Amino acid sequence: MDVEIDALVIGAGFAGLYQLHSLRDRLGLSTRVLEAGGDLGGTWYWNRYPGARCDSESHAYRYFFSRELNEEWEWSERYPGPPEILRYLGRVAEKFDLRRDIRFGCRVVSARYDETANRWLVQTDVGERYAATYLVAAVGCLSSANIPDIPGLGEFGGRWFHTGKWPHEGVDLAGQRVGQIGTGSTGIQAAPVIAQTAAHLTVFQRTPTYSVPARNAPLTPEFKRWVRENHAEIRAIACSTPNGHAFRIADRNVADVTPDERQAIYEAAWARGGLQFRATFRDLMTDQAANDTAAEFLKARIRAIVRDPKTAAALADIDHPYATKRPPIDTDYYETFNRGNVTLVDLRADPIERITPRGIRTRSAEHALDIIVFATGFDAMTGPLLAIDIRGRDGRALREEWRAGPQTYLGLQAPGFPNFFTITGPGSPSVLTNMPVAIEQHVEWITDCIGYLRQHGIDSIEPDPEAVQRWGEHVNEAANATLLSKAKHSWYYGANVPGKPRVFMPYAGGLARYRRICEDVAAKGYDGFWLHRRGEREIPRARGGTAGEFAVARGPGV
Ligand code: N01
């Protein structure tokens, strides 16, 4: 027997929790959340690897929708770690009584649109079936682990783990010889902490990247008070910046200052730490010469910190402009390579040949290991959606429709999949932003949209393929207006997963601009979407009649 409900949400992370609250408590819809994990938290439920910590500063890493919640919640550190974030989400769930509508430990395996009934029929791996009018994927952008297909893994005599599926009971690394593959944001956080307990850590680096110190610290009572008293202002900044963080990008170009001034600005940003380094000049992401100055500064730092010249050279031999791959922040990452128990293997000079029963064999040596840590990232953005067999109108499979890359309008809907919404889906700013801010905007837009449909007696909404095509062009145009397009081997392009189409997936036009576009689309009666009433053959096209003409200022938003 199907469980009949109005709305079904997949995932109980930041996105799913707020979507449940909004649909159930604002619109009064019967809503259920299905979550594969054993508890809420999404990315924070799964990513409990050593050193895991949020890169966004805590005062902006939160929901802003509830003043009361903001007033009662206080973060303890500049960057919260998983336990504190999970406590926060637990408090949110308790405050808004969310748990009663969340089903944990059940993974959605398929969702099929029944056109006659205008219902989504959803099946889980525990044999439950649901029928819902609206289906919202809140599955996260980075939740599908990417475990590279290295020959021999099955023969490995030790234990291996992916950071995104780290055992909740922890892994005792004491006395162990650990090999870590991957030096992205995760690997850069994990290596220093692993090195503190492991007998030996071997870091296998394929592509070096730039990292800036996080400078995590407990928050002072003064700062906590300032946060408590300035929520509206913090929110206003986060909503007006391109990346949803609560810091503004400096209103100056690199060429506006002298080399000495520039050096002082970079020194100060390095000392302050965090992703704000990117905000020192407004042309860092658009002008190669400007970016080179930041890149050179950071490479010089690596060479100054790392004592062994060969290791320093391998870490600093970075082949892409600064921040064109997601920039990590770290705590003592480069310093870790000065420890006696840490070795760097530069895979570009000495590639992995296979995993053996004893460890990892590269072209020049066999590295004996007890544990392999895969900090190898995710099948980002599309992976979690395509892991579910989603079928829209006429049985069309999302996996087929997106074979050459994701096709969405605003990253919110795909053509042919009525009443199916994706939170922070491909084609939206998502991973280029401070996620909770992007999530809140999507949840509120989706909730308003569903409210509109119900108010106007409209049964379903789906995007006009023409608007989807134009949006795809605009997403490309936005990426090409920045230097992001110069790191074609980044996961933003899907390049980390063999066989995945190379398409720039997030929207680089900036969250503030994107928000205006979404508001404009809604204000024009959902311009670029088809709104259907059952029994009506004709589709009441959006009144604006522009079918997704988002005439926005050109130029970079990141
Ligand atoms: O994954 P990544 P991540 N052989 O894809 C390497 C978010 N995040 O988990 O660059 C050898 O960035 C790969 O090498 P290459 C954040 O958005 C947030 O670190 O492909 N190496 C790379 O070095 C981030 O961007 C936070 O050449 C292989 C690494 O593995 C995103 O998650 C913290 C390989 C993967 O780096 C993903 O970060 C952490 C192979 N076969 C992460 N395959 C916070 O804010 C892959 N690699 C808290």
pLDDT tens readout for residues 154-204: 999 999 999 999 999 999 999 999 999 999 999 999 999 999 999 999 999
Q: What is the whole-number distance in angstroms between the Cα of residue 207 and the centre of ligand 1?
A: 10
Residue 535 has pLDDT above 80, yes or no: no
Predicted local distance difference test score (pLDDT) of residue 550 = 57
Which of 189, 186, 234, 184 lies closest to 58 in space, CA to CA? 234
Query: What number does the ligand 1 atom closest to the CA of 188 have?
Result: 19
Please tell me the distance from the alpha carbon of residue 135 to that of residue 128, in angstroms, as a whole number: 16
- Tokens standing for 291? 């970016």
**Residue that the structure tokens 């500064």 belong to:** 297
Please tell me the distance from the alpha carbon of residue 373 to that of residue 166, in angstroms, as a whole number: 10
Model confidence pLDDT, tens digit, residues 349-399:
999 999 999 999 999 999 999 999 999 999 999 999 999 999 999 999 999
Residues linked to residue 108 through DSSP beta bridges, in sequence order: 124
Residue 543 has pLDDT above 50, yes or no: no
Predicted local distance difference test score (pLDDT) of residue 541 = 54
Q: Please return the burial class of 8, using the count of CB atoms within 10 Å of its CB with bins 0-12, 13-18 and 19+.
A: buried
Q: What is the whole-number distance in angstroms between the Cα of residue 210 and the centre of ligand 1?
A: 13
- Tokens standing for 256? 């506006």
- Tokens standing for 269? 């940003």
Q: What is the whole-number distance in angstroms between the Cα of residue 335 and the centre of ligand 1?
A: 20
Q: Which residues line ligand 1 (CB under 6 A)?
A: 53-55, 142, 148, 181-187, 189, 204, 206-207, 326, 347, 375-378, 431, 491, 496
Q: Please return the burial class of 465, using the count of CB atoms within 10 Å of its CB with bins 0-12, 13-18 and 19+.
A: middle
Q: Please return the burial class of 396, using the count of CB atoms within 10 Å of its CB with bins 0-12, 13-18 and 19+.
A: middle
Q: What is the whole-number distance in angstroms between the Cα of residue 331 and the centre of ligand 1?
A: 17
Confidence of residue 544 (pLDDT cuts 50, 70, 90): very low
CB contact at 8 A, 63 and 440: yes
Please tell me the distance from the alpha carbon of residue 17 to that of residue 34, in angstroms, as a whole number: 11
Predicted local distance difference test score (pLDDT) of residue 555 = 45
* Helices (H), ranges, 198-328: 221-229, 231-240, 259-272, 288-305, 309-316
Please tell me the distance from the alpha carbon of residue 259 to that of residue 255, in angstroms, as a whole number: 9
* Helices (H), ranges, 163-285: 185-197, 221-229, 231-240, 259-272
Predicted local distance difference test score (pLDDT) of residue 1 = 74
- Of 554 and 494, more confident: 494
Q: Whose alpha carbon is nearest atom 7 of ligand 1?
A: 185
Map residue 113 onto helix, strand or coil. Answer: strand
Residues found in the chain: 558
Q: Whose alpha carbon is nearest atom 46 of ligand 1?
A: 376
Helix, strand, coil percentages for the chain (3-state, nearest 5): 35, 20, 45
Model confidence pLDDT, tens digit, residues 216-259:
999 999 999 999 999 999 999 999 999 999 999 999 999 999 99
Opening angle at CA 505, ends 502 and 508, nearest 5: 125
537 Cβ contact partners less than 8 Å away, ≥ 6 residues apart: none
Note the pTM of the prediction, 2 decimals. Answer: 0.96
Please tell me the distance from the alpha carbon of residue 469 to that of residue 465, in angstroms, as a whole number: 6
Predicted local distance difference test score (pLDDT) of residue 488 = 85
Model confidence pLDDT, tens digit, residues 126-138:
999 999 999 999 9
Q: What is the whole-number distance in angstroms between the Cα of residue 185 and the centre of ligand 1?
A: 6
Q: What is the whole-number distance in angstroms between the Cα of residue 463 and the centre of ligand 1?
A: 33
Task: Return the percentage of the chain with pLDDT > 70, whole number.
Answer: 96
**Gyration radius (Cα) of the chain, Å:** 24
Query: What are the C-alpha distances in Å from 144 to residues 11, 47, 109, 219, 530?
Result: 13, 11, 14, 33, 31
- Tokens standing for 404? 């050459």
